Amino acid sequence: MDELSTRERIIESSAALFNTYGYHACSLSHIMEATGLKKGGIYNHFKNKDEIAVEAFNHNYQRVLRRFRETLDKVSTPTEKILAVVDVFVSFIDDPMVQGGGCPIFNTAIDSTNTHPALKEKARESIIILRNYIEIKLKEGISAGEVKSDVNIKQMATVIIATLEGAIVLSRVDGNKDSVEVTAEHMKKFITQSILI
């Protein structure tokens, strides 16, 4: 007996396919080929492609969360956790968590912006959670005397995320990890020299 149920196998396969092709370019035929199921076998478990896409996003989101937790649990201070966030972004290139590479949350955000409101909203909520986490760590850093008190927390959290995501896109376009490595090094230096006490 398979370790994964049929429903789980459809979700896992679709998570990789949607990340690789995007929502519209990923067809039911792709999912059928990846799972070895016929159309009826898939629709026994899901109403339509939209439902599969949302569950696939949830699957990828949980994997992203797990990667963040595993890395952040290894460090303790607010500063270490902020710097560890940079390492997680680098890991999306060094050790892709899903076929197609990149960050599944941001891939979905870009792919669904004008085409799939439900997916766009789920991606938006996920990005807000990440931004809020960085803001919390910056606030904790200020309270702990590690971060300068005049740092614009919202601005800094946005810059960190946007810069690292942009680097991931460049690395994927270039087909190597140079952009991510250079950006991560610069970002860590910037954080250390500009916002830490």
What are the tens digits of pLDDT across the range 9-23? 999 999 999 999 988
Domain boundaries, the chain: 60-195
d(CA 173, CA 136): 32
Q: Per residue in 71-130, pLDDT tens? A: 999 999 999 999 999 999 999 998 988 888 889 998 898 888 777 888 999 999 999 999
Instruction: Return the SS3 of 4.
Output: coil
Q: Torsions phi, psi of 196, nearest 5?
A: -90, 150
Tokens 């799972």 belong to residue: 35
d(CA 116, CA 42): 21
d(CA 59, CA 27): 19
Instruction: Indicate the pTM of the whole model.
Output: 0.88
- Residues listed for the chain: 197
Neighbours of 3 (CB within 10 A): 6
The amino acid sitting at 36 is G
The amino acid sitting at 46 is F
Quick one: 60-195 is in which CATH superfamily?
Tetracycline Repressor, domain 2 (1.10.357.10)
d(CA 98, CA 177): 16
